[in-house]
Amino acid sequence: HHEGAGVGKIEGFPDKGRDSLIEFIKALLLPTMVMYAKGERKIRFEQYLGVFRSIEQLVDEHRERYELFIGKAQQGVFSSKLRELVPEVGIFFTSLPLTKAFTIYDEQEAITARNFIPPSFNDIRHVLNIAQLFALRKTVKLITFDGDQTLYQDGGDFHPDSALVVHLISLLEKGVFVALVTAAGYENNPEKYESRLSGLLAGFKAHNLSQAAASRFFVLGGECNFLYKCKADYKLEVVRFESFATDEMLLWGSHQIVKVLDIAEASLRNGVEEMNLNYQVLRKARGVGLVCSGRSAGKPHRGWLCSHVPA
């Protein structure tokens, strides 16, 4: 819904599960729950709705001020009432009909019927997501998804008959472009991605997805270095790097890429050796990563990653 930074709970370690705007809304809703803990649900609903109405107005004012800021060639410092209250808040690309979204969410989850449990972080996130869907439903042209831990389990796959496959097919048939964006990098090797997405591609085939709809499905891998497009036979084909790379990306020389990867590889190898970790460092054409050397290795500790990856 907005582009901004979350609020970390531990200094020096980013908290991926936090969002400053959501925490702000949560703090506004809490006093209402306490004051009307034993009150009628209707009163609590009106109070919650008032909070979301205020946030909706703040977002609109924030967007208007940003348009003026852009119109002035970004001279001076961009400010808004919302940014004064939540300094980390980013830029909103659409309005957010939060009162409508909250009303629908409350009808489904009955959060205003809870006497002693305030709206949670996830409750507010769902309201924001519903509002974003309302804002985009008539104009969206492209939807991108992460793969692992978003559309499927880490290292997993789709089931051809899963509800997600049906929803993705529906988007494609309605003219929406869908892209799976993944860090997994297999240069000029569509078969690797096909094996990871075999259930989804089989679902396309089982539903007899048209050639036009299938051609709107893409896979962007290797941190935006490799692009693949779905063909009529539900296989993936390579899209030439020059046809999708930005002008800046096209200026990258091979020696610059090698230099950056050399630094990254040295940092990871040094970290593995210092911490005596059971990992192998894997070097690819446009990436460096870690592979577990044994079954018991598991994933690297987050603190270790935060310490070594930025280096």
Counting Cβ atoms within 10 Å, is residue 18 exposed (0-12), middle (13-18) or buried (19+)?
Answer: middle
Is position 262 annotated as part of the catalytic site?
Answer: no
> Residue 217: what residue type?
F
Give strand pairing partners of 220: 181, 227
135 φ, ψ (degrees, to nearest 5): -70, -30
Strands 279-284 and 236-239: unpaired
The catalytic residue among 15, 146, 233, 262 is: 146
> Residue 241: what residue type?
F
CA 110, CA 107: separation in Å to the nearest integer?
Answer: 6
DSSP 54-92: HHHHHHHHHHHHHHHHHHTTT-S----HHHHH-TT--B-
Q: Dihedral (C-alpha) 30, 58, 15, 144: value to the nearest 10 degrees?
A: 120
Is position 157 annotated as part of the catalytic site?
Answer: no
The catalytic residue among 15, 60, 106, 148 is: 148
Find how far residue 70's CA is from the centre of its chain.
Answer: 25
Three-state secondary-structure class, residue 181: strand
Return the active site residues: 146, 148
